[in-house]
A and B are shown apart, each in its own frame.
Chain A
Amino acid sequence: MFHSSFEAFESFLFVPDKVTNRGAHIRDAIDLKRTMTVVIIALMPALLFGMWNVGYQHSIAFGIKDWTLIQTFVFGFLKVFPIIVVSYVVGLGIEFAFAQIRHHEVNEGFLVTGMLIPLIMPVDVPLWMVGLATAFSVVIGKEVFGGTGMNVFNPALLARAFVFFAYPSKMSGDLVWISGLAGGHGMVDGFSGATPLAIAATGAGETAHNMTVSQLVSHLPSASDMFLGFIPGSIGETSTLAILIGAAILMITGIGSWKIIVSVFAGGFGMALLLNAFGANPYMQIPAYYHLIMGGFAFGAVFMATDPVTGAQTEKGKWIYGFLIGVMAILIRVLNPAYPEGMMLAILLLNTFASLIDHYVVQSNIRRRLRRATNA
């Protein structure tokens, strides 16, 4: 009766003793668990840095000078770990229940989703919201479409989009990104807590339109701070360096499509350059590479766009899919003041179009075959 749950635990502990029966007599050593493990490992640098940064940002905001590295990390760990636990418990609980009802094996996909969800949340997000968002993304985002492998939208991003639209006050503004800031007392005078994206979109205290680009840039953290990640933001998204280490792991192992990662960055950089060329306001004029190290761009490019289920599945399609994500993300960021972060919406948008892109790629193959037949 609890076969699928038993299988899940058994295969977690042991690679099963099942032998080939039909078809090829030998099989590759890789399985889905291994694949997902690689992604989890790739997420580790961003997660560990994110935990440290939670403590670091808190210490800056509240003027704490004497924390050691360990203290800083432990502070962040204690803030982040409960979010991870909630995400896994809720998500895996639902996955096991569905596997039981449908009599199929528990798929490992949620091992990654469950780690991605905490990494794209602001640190002060209430835990019940994380639980609700996870439940929403697993049930509405995945299981209604038929479970792992069938979903249209990236489940982790759907969880974030859910919180973003359902509880905007907890997911935007300047006070949610640093632990303890929403309480509003004890922080350093004049500290804003705004993310670089928010500064870029609205300026610091005055509208960005009244500033020159050099004034705007002077309000932003330095490029090296943004690249290394010493900035406020969602837990896992701040350090472009840590994310790039993850990207290297994904690309070297071949688990994440290098085509998608490269083309997202290319699309984003290209679009930012194009906006530079127009240069109608200071935000359009900021250096193009700033866009790649601000906000969730890098995280989305490396860990979200590369989801093989919701992305384009043809190799040609992957180039187009990735490039358009990059373009749309920057477009939404710069030209739509309502949403400072464009990456989430860009990826969800292209998730919708991924199968359309594939359709045209496959159609061209079909036309080639038909042409060959008529010429013969």
Chain B
Amino acid sequence: MSKVIKIRKGLDIKLAGKAEKVLERLEISSTYAVKPTDFTGLVPKLLIKPEDKVKAGTPLFFDKYKPEILFTSPISGSVKAVNRGERRAILEVVIEADGAQDYEKFEVASQESQSREEVKTILLKSGIWPGIKQRPYAIVANPVDVPKAIFISGLDTSPLAPDLDFSVNGEEGALQKGFDILHKLTDGKVHLTIPADRSATSVFAKIKGVEMHEITGPHPAGNVGIQIHHIEPLNKGEVVWTLDPWTVIFIGRLFLNGVYDASKVISLAGSEVLKPRYYRLISGASISRLIEGRVSDGSNRFISGNVLTGQRVPSHGYLGFYDNQLTVIPEGKHFEFLGWAAPGFNKYSASRTFFSKLLPIKSFRLDTNMNGGERAFVMTGQYEKVFPMDIYPVHLLKAILAEDVEAMENLGIYEVAEEDFALCEFVCTSKIEVQEIVRKGLDLMIKEMN
């Protein structure tokens, strides 16, 4: 076994409502959506119109700038609506399920005989491709690249994250197949990182043919970007690809059965969920059936993904393409009289400025209140405590704000994604929108490099 990567900086936010390891059955949802907004920088071009019949794997739209990247329906049925937002930007393509679940058939010959190009073509056609992301920039991988290596994180350390070991249980065959296929896409290694305390028992530990790494420590130890930084940091001009385990499983299923089968196990978690548990559903499902009767009354926020990086969705919204969890927390639209001066026995803070630090509180029910107004950047050393990379986060952010491309490059912009800065945003005393700044920087780099 390789040596254990020990992450010391970081923070596990103690949130209430962690999902119990029970897999519940769920009636199949009636509507599904593919949301172009899940994919950074995508300009979608529609291939269907409302009322069209689709199967699971039928293309719905493609990327205007990389037309070979197709986005396909996860379900069979008919196109119900194309919902648009400001300036007619497409927000959702909604599919009404017919309950039959017919699949488009993809020609998958035996794996040994398939070339890299053939594998890519099938991945692109099936609509699984967008599940592969690249670093730098944390965007959908460019099909013309051959990555230096491929990285998969076998653990999710974000707040209330699903236990991947539990949720992928039973998918070993597809998982192994998926990893075998990934080898076709790179000349380098396929890296898989697993939690060190489960190095023997983890489902992922049994995967063969990959470069295995172990990691311990608080969030963001599970972020693939942090793992890349500690395994083989990315330099200028290099490209690596990253996938989440479910995408690997989808790839495995595709090459085993010739279909795009996007069913997965997600967790429903958060303090407002009555019984936080795991559910099997198909990617892009409407959350209305999932939350029905399972969340508390009152003003709640539904988040597709985790509380740090997830997207806010309405109660009739849809799970995001990359998300394996739905989090429900209370909205925090309330005033608190002299709240900044109170001793704070029930407040959660990474700092030691509230008396709750002295109490043995196991979990907190945090709401969406900002807990203060946005201010000038004053406190130092805060971001560094939750940012386990050999990068100076504040200096990088300042370089981004100054749009100094050379400085951004020097300070490590290629290695980071928004999610790596999510904890910085959480702890920030001045309430600065750090993730948005990072995305701006990445977008600027994409523009400069093309």
- Assembly CA distance A108 to B373 (angstroms): 11
A149 at the interface (CB under 8 A from B): yes
CB–CB A109/B378 < 8 A? yes
Binds B, one of A31-39, A191-199, A204-212, A238-246: A31-39
CB–CB B378/A17 < 8 A? no
- Assembly CA distance A366 to B407 (angstroms): 9
Enumerate chain A residues within 8 angstroms of B301, measured Cβ to Cβ: 25
Enumerate chain B residues within 8 angstroms of A7, measured Cβ to Cβ: 373
Interface of B is mostly: loop
CB–CB B340/A37 < 8 A? yes
CB–CB A35/B378 < 8 A? yes
- Assembly CA distance A107 to B429 (angstroms): 12
Enumerate chain A residues within 8 angstroms of B108, measured Cβ to Cβ: none
The 0/1 profile, CB within 8 Å of A marked 1, for residues 404-435 of chain B is: 00000011100000000010011111110111
- CB nearest to A313 among chain B residues: B380
User: CB within 8 A of A31: which of B237, B373, B392?
Assistant: B373
User: CB within 8 A of B335: which of A14, A365, A373?
Assistant: A14
- Assembly CA distance A376 to B335 (angstroms): 54
- Assembly CA distance A115 to B45 (angstroms): 61
Enumerate chain A residues within 8 angstroms of B374, measured Cβ to Cβ: 105
- CB nearest to B353 among chain A residues: A253
- How many A residues have CB within 8 A of the partner chain? 56
Q: Given the known inter-chain contacts A366-B410, A366-B411, please indicate yes or no for A18 contacting B375, CB distance below 8 A.
A: no
A309 at the interface (CB under 8 A from B): yes
B144 at the interface (CB under 8 A from A): no
User: CB within 8 A of B372: which of A33, A147, A314?
Assistant: A33
CB–CB A32/B235 < 8 A? no
CB–CB B353/A25 < 8 A? no
A274 at the interface (CB under 8 A from B): no
Q: Given the known inter-chain contacts A35-B429, A149-B377, please indicate yes or no for A29 contacting B371, CB distance below 8 A.
A: yes
Enumerate chain B residues within 8 angstroms of A314, measured Cβ to Cβ: 392, 395
Enumerate chain B residues within 8 angstroms of A16, measured Cβ to Cβ: 335, 370, 372-373
Enumerate chain B residues within 8 angstroms of A318, measured Cβ to Cβ: 381
Enumerate chain B residues within 8 angstroms of A149, measured Cβ to Cβ: 375-378, 430
* B331, B429, B433 interface centre (most CB from chain A within 10 Å): B429
CB–CB B309/A24 < 8 A? yes
The 0/1 profile, CB within 8 Å of A marked 1, for residues 292-317 of chain B is: 00000000010100011110100000
CB contacts under 8 Å to A, within B343-387, are 344, 347-354, 366-381, 384
The 0/1 profile, CB within 8 Å of B marked 1, for residues 23-59 of chain A is: 1111111111111011000000000000000000000
CB–CB A13/B235 < 8 A? no
CB–CB B347/A29 < 8 A? yes
CB–CB A372/B233 < 8 A? yes
- CB nearest to A32 among chain B residues: B375
CB–CB A30/B349 < 8 A? yes
Enumerate chain B residues within 8 angstroms of A109, measured Cβ to Cβ: 376, 378
Enumerate chain B residues within 8 angstroms of A15, measured Cβ to Cβ: 335-336, 339-340, 369, 371-372
Enumerate chain A residues within 8 angstroms of B384, measured Cβ to Cβ: 315
Q: Given the known inter-chain contacts A27-B371, A30-B353, A368-B390, please indicate yes or no for A107 contacting B395, CB distance below 8 A.
A: no
CB contacts under 8 Å to A, within B159-218, are 159
* B233, B375, B390, B436 interface centre (most CB from chain A within 10 Å): B375
User: CB within 8 A of B392: which of A34, A255, A362, A376?
Assistant: A362
B333 at the interface (CB under 8 A from A): yes
A150 at the interface (CB under 8 A from B): yes
B249 to A: closest C-beta gap in Å: 28
Enumerate chain B residues within 8 angstroms of A369, measured Cβ to Cβ: 235, 410, 412
Q: Given the known inter-chain contacts A19-B333, A257-B381, please indicate yes or no for A25 contacting B310, CB distance below 8 A.
A: yes
Enumerate chain B residues within 8 angstroms of A252, measured Cβ to Cβ: 352
A84 to B: closest C-beta gap in Å: 19
CB–CB B378/A32 < 8 A? yes
B93 at the interface (CB under 8 A from A): no
Enumerate chain B residues within 8 angstroms of A107, measured Cβ to Cβ: 375-376, 378
B42 at the interface (CB under 8 A from A): no
B415 to A: closest C-beta gap in Å: 9
- Assembly CA distance A20 to B433 (angstroms): 10
CB–CB B353/A26 < 8 A? no
A330 to B: closest C-beta gap in Å: 26
User: CB within 8 A of A32: which of B307, B337, B430, B433?
Assistant: B430
Enumerate chain B residues within 8 angstroms of A27, measured Cβ to Cβ: 369-372, 425-426, 428, 431
- Which 8 A-B residue pairs are closest in the complex by CB-CB distance? A31-B372, A149-B376, A15-B339, A29-B347, A373-B235, A33-B340, A14-B335, A15-B336
30 residue pairs from A and B, CB less than 8 Å apart: A14-B339, A17-B335, A18-B369, A19-B333, A20-B368, A23-B434, A23-B436, A24-B307, A24-B426, A25-B303, A26-B329, A28-B348, A28-B351, A30-B354, A32-B375, A34-B353, A34-B372, A34-B429, A35-B378, A107-B378, A148-B375, A148-B378, A253-B351, A254-B352, A313-B381, A314-B392, A314-B395, A315-B384, A362-B411, A365-B390
